[in-house]
Structure 1
């Protein structure tokens, strides 16, 4: 079962930020400089959290993960440049 996740971060160090970006790109789509979103399964979410925790400095950095219900995800509104993360037609495991 997958859920739609929004992940936002505030990382103080450029190197750590680059590593966090690389991790997030494996799980979600960047929709703003420090915001990613995507459909993530429970097992992949656990792995994502482990990878993010390993890369971040828990004293100086902050990462927030928000899940949206299926109905809420459908109500996302966007203006201007950018695209939303779509539910993929296929998944690689």
Structure 2
């Protein structure tokens, strides 16, 4: 008789990231936008917001690195704490990307 312990649910915490970029080449810029759309929400022409686990963040960075030219392109990742996300203000058009509750898998 196989007595295996039941698997426990584990919490997966996500972090809110703001990703901005300045890519002079149209083709690379369009490729990067496609990559980032797979991870987050476009909030401005060259700015995305995303809630990512550590693993997803690493996957996104690898995907970004496969597209950009580090000698010509600029990409920035900003990680915001929950308190900081709660203080985001959008005084004009647009919405703040909603922070998901803790995910249990």
Output the TM-score relative to the length of structure 2: 0.81
The 5 Å alignment of 1:1-93 reads 1-88=13-100
What stretches of structure 1 of length at least 5 have no aligned partner?
none
How many residues are paired up? 90
What stretches of structure 2 of length at least 5 have no aligned partner?
1-12
Output the TM-score relative to the length of structure 1: 0.91
Question: Which runs of 4 or more aligned residues in structure 1 lie more than 4 Å from their structure 2 counterparts after TM superposition?
Answer: none
Deviation at 1:88, TM superposition (A): 4.5
Q: Distance in 2 between matches of 1:57 and 1:7?
A: 16
Q: CA RMSD in A?
A: 1.3
Q: Kindly indicate which of the two structures has a greater share of residues assigned to helix.
A: 1
